[in-house]
DNA sequence: TCAGAAGTTGACTTTTTGGTCAGCTTTTGG
DNA sequence: CCAAAAGCTGACCAAAAAGTCAACTTCTGA
């Protein structure tokens, strides 16, 4: 899709980098692949399927990628570079209430817009995460630790109740990813055939409500003032 | 394994139903299969692998099961019969505090003891749940609805804050299943190579703490008195 | 004891899959 | 304009997978 005409009709027609054939076809292959990997996992996905889904002959897929592993590895790499983006909200200079609420909203929005990538990652986890390199594992750990410390600080400052930050993060990941990874169960629960925007909004409100209610100190107010 | 001698050396040697050859071999096949399906999904699992893992010749696997689908379907069926067991804790005649705490503990214990089954189910969800029959979907919906009503009643009675029960259940499922389905991420987060019992205990305490803190009314106390 | 039922299995066929390749067409830079 | 580089692909192959089967052994009830 989005086959645009050359923007510069001049003599040289310098094309944008993304318009180059290689970039375009690799993108098509990766897009098709992430969909299939997300559904069927690494072992269950056939190269021929990827070829068909990306509307390229199988041999052409091999022209761009050495092996199936190479495709998978590229996707893992791409995914991990965005792993921490939502976590940016958890910053020491912010108020936990807003920071956590923003994090939940961002993660849920990611689940909504990038359900495929989320499922792809979930599938890799089900496989045992064997495709993650030592470096990539460390990356996840480092980024997590960094934010765990922020939460620990909030607790020390009395801005949060004394709660194990690591398990709290797990709760947040799990609750937000569920709407992508197990969208069918979520939809069944909500009596839908598929999730709608309002479902995500309600999910966000509920998660924020419960998490903040369970984390913020028991002083005066405990949540948003709207009923 | 577990090749036992006949218990009754008498003339008739009436054997227990489970000792019958068919039962034993089917069990071996299903056990091997659920492990493989959990890791590699339906499409990624080879019959030969199942045969090897169950220490039977491939032809013997085909003797007991028509197709791979048949094995998978049997496992789905078996799994769903235990789907609601943890939900039994959510009963109208109980106090929400204990009921929810018990539910979380039970679900987490299931994740710990039956991680394989949990992953198998997660894999089926990633596939889109296409293997679930209409009846099975309805079963999930019905059971859920039943318990949603209990929670709604608690809310009406003022025993719980006004929170969307469906999304609450999703939070509970997600948070507890994560420790089975994404055990590797959980372990990474907790700086472990694999999860230990104490990790599950801490998970339970944290989840119970946060969920109850976020759900119970804001009156006097808000959680367990132990610090 | 013994005939039929149940269980076992190596070897086989067919189908699918990952991967290759030679020769073709298109694009590109000068 | 043109040669080289990049891109394309039908046809092919070897390996692996699914699935079959006939001959065999073991079990069971009468």
Q: Provide the CA B55 to C1' D22 distance, Å, integer.
A: 23
Please say which residue of A26, A58, A77 terminates a domain. A77
Last residue of one domain, picked from the residues A77, A94, A126: A77
- Residues B171, B93: one domain? yes
What three-state secondary structure class fits A53? Answer: helix
Under an 8 A CB cutoff, do A189 and B141 touch?
yes
Residue A27 and residue A53 in one domain: yes
Residue A53 lies in a domain: yes
CA distance B188 to A138: 9
Q: Are residues A53 and A150 in the same domain?
A: no
- Residue A46 dihedral angles phi and psi, to the nearest 5°: -100, 145
Instruction: Count Cβ–Cβ pairs < 8 Å, chain A vs chain B.
Output: 183
Q: Work out the angle at residue A71's Cα, subtended by the Cα atoms of residues A69 and A74, and round it to the nearest 5 degrees.
A: 105
From first to last of its 227 residues, chain A has per-residue pLDDT tens of 333 333 333 333 344 555 689 999 999 999 999 999 999 999 999 999 999 999 999 999 999 999 999 999 999 999 988 888 999 999 999 999 999 999 999 999 999 999 999 999 999 999 999 899 999 999 999 999 999 999 999 999 999 999 999 999 999 999 999 999 999 999 999 999 999 999 999 999 999 999 999 999 986 443 333 33
Residue B106 in any domain: the answer is: yes
Which pair of structure tokens corresponds to residue B173? 């499922």
Q: Are residues A205 and A175 in the same domain?
A: yes
**Residue B10 burial class via C-beta count within 10 angstroms: exposed 0-12, middle 13-18, buried 19 and up:** exposed
List residues with CB under 7 Å of strand D.
A 20-22, 25, 56-60, 62-63; B 13, 15, 20-21, 45-48, 58-59, 62, 67-68
Specify if B4 maps to a domain.
Answer: no
Place of tokens 């992953």: B119
Yes or no, beta carbons of B40 and A163 under 8 Å apart = no
CA distance B167 to A203: 6
Question: Nearest nucleotide by C1' from A15 CA?
Answer: C28
Q: Are B126 and A178 in contact (CB under 8 A)?
A: no
Closest CA to B33 of B8, B53, B17: B53
Q: What confidence score (pLDDT) does residue A20 get?
A: 83
Q: Is residue A62 part of a domain?
A: yes
Q: Which residue of B has its CA nearest to A137?
A: B188
- In degrees, rounded to 5, the angle at the alpha carbon of residue A136 between the alpha carbons of residues A130 and A138 is 110
Which residue is it, tokens 């002083």?
Answer: A219
B158 in contact with A at a CB cutoff of 8 Å?
no
Answer yes or no: do B59 and B128 share one domain: no
B164 domain residue, yes or no: yes
Most distant CA atoms of chain B, gap in Å: 71
| Distance, Å, B4 CA → C5 C1' | 23
CA distance B93 to A120: 42
How far apart CA B156 and CA B158 sit, in angstroms, is 5
- How many Å apart are CA A199 and CA A187, to the nearest integer? 9
Helix-helix angle B115-126:A21-44, to 10 degrees: 140
Residue B222 lies in a domain: no
Cα–Cα distance for residue pair B91/B88, rounded to 1 Å: 7
For residues B117 and B130, what is the distance between their CA atoms, to the nearest angstrom? 17
Q: A163 with A155: CB under 8 angstroms?
A: yes
Say if residue B98 is in the same domain as residue B170.
yes
The pair of three-digit structure tokens given for residue B9, joined into one six-digit string: 């050396």
From A28, A44, A77, give the residue that closes a domain.
Answer: A77
- Is residue A42 in a domain? yes
Look at residue B61 and tell me whether its pLDDT is greater than 90: yes
Q: Looking at beta carbons, which residues of chain A come within 8 Å of B140?
A: 185, 188
The reported pLDDT for the residue numbered B17 is 54
Query: Tokens 């098709």 belong to which residue?
Result: A32
DSSP letter string, A113-180: HTHHHHHHHHHHHHTTSTTS-HHHHHHHHHHHHHHHHHHHHHHHTTSS-S--HHHHHHHHHHHHHHHH
Residues B96 and B190 in one domain: yes
Query: Which residues 12 to 31 of A reach strand C, CB within 7 A?
Result: 15, 20-21
pLDDT at B13: 37
If we measure between CA atoms, which residue out of B20, B28, B76 comes closest to residue B52?
A: B28
Q: For residues A214 and B212, what is the distance between their CA atoms, to the nearest angstrom?
A: 7
| CATH, residue B182 | 1.10.357.10
How far apart are the C-alpha atoms of B191 and A11, rounded to whole Å?
59
Decide: B214 and A212 in contact? Cβ < 8 Å: yes
- CA-to-C1' distance for B11 and D29, Å? 12
Whether residue B101 is found in the same domain as residue B173: yes
- The predicted-structure confidence for B172-212, as pLDDT tens digits, reads as follows 999 999 999 999 999 999 999 999 999 999 999 999 999 99
* In a shared domain, residues A149 and A204: yes
Q: Note the pLDDT tens digit of each residue in B30-58.
A: 999 999 999 999 999 999 999 999 999 99
Same domain for B178 and B167, yes or no, is yes
| CB < 8 Å from B in window 60-89 of A | none
pLDDT of the residue at A2: 31
Q: In chain B, which residue's Cα lies nearest the Cα of A119?
A: B126
Q: Which of A44, A174, A205 sits opposite B43 (nearest CB)?
A: A44
Residue A63 CB contacts under 8 Å (≥ 6 apart), including other chains: none
Give me the DSSP letters along A213-224: HHHS-SSS--S-
Q: Does B177 touch chain A (CB under 8 A)?
A: yes
Tally of structural domains, chain B:
2
Of B81, B121, B189, nearest in space to A168 by CA: B189
Classify residue A152: in a domain, yes or no. Answer: yes
Whether B129 and B188 map to the same domain: the answer is yes
Tokens 């089954």 found at: B117
For strand C, the positions having any atom within 7 A of a protein Cβ are 6-11, 16-22, 27-28
Report the alpha-carbon distance of residue B143 to residue B145 in Å, rounded: 6
B124 contacts chain A (CB < 8 A): no
Q: Are residues A94 and A69 in the same domain?
A: no
Give the domain range for residue B36: 17-79
Q: How far is the CA of A130 from the C1' of D14 (A)?
A: 28
CATH of residue B28 = 1.10.10.60
Task: Report CB contact under 8 Å: B188, A227.
Answer: no
Answer whether A118 touches B (CB < 8 Å). Answer: no
Q: Does A138 touch chain B (CB under 8 A)?
A: no
Question: Is the CB of A37 less than 7 A from some atom of nucleic acid strand C?
Answer: no
Name the residue with tokens 């996905």: A45
CA proximity to B108, closest of B53, B155, B173: B173
Q: Indicate yes or no: CB of A122 within 8 angstroms of CB of B126.
A: yes
């Amino acid at each position: 899709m989005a086959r645009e005409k050359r923007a510069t009709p001049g003599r040289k027609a310098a094309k944008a980098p993304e318009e180059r054939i290689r970039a375009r076809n690799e993108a098509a292959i990766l897009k098709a692949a992430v969909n299939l990997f997300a559904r069927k996992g690494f072992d269950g996905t056939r190269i021929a399927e990827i070829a068909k889904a990306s509307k390229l002959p199988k041999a052409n897929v091999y022209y761009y990628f050495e092996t199936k592993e190479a495709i998978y590895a590229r996707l893992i790499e791409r995914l991990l570079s965005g792993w921490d983006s939502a976590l940016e909200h958890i910053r020491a200079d912010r108020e936990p209430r807003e920071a956590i609420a923003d994090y939940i909203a961002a993660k849920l929005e990611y689940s909504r817009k990038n359900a495929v990538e989320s499922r792809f990652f979930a599938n890799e986890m089900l496989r045992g995460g064997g495709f993650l390199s030592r470096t990539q594992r460390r990356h996840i750990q480092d980024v997590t630790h960094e934010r765990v410390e922020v939460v620990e600080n909030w607790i020390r400052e009395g801005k949060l109740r004394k709660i194990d930050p690591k398990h709290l993060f797990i709760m947040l990941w799990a609750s937000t990813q569920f709407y992508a990874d197990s969208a069918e169960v979520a939809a069944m629960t909500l009596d839908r055939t598929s999730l709608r925007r309002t479902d995500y909004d309600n999910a966000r409100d509920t998660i924020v409500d419960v998490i903040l209610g369970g984390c913020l100190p028991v002083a005066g107010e405990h949540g948003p003032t709207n009923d």
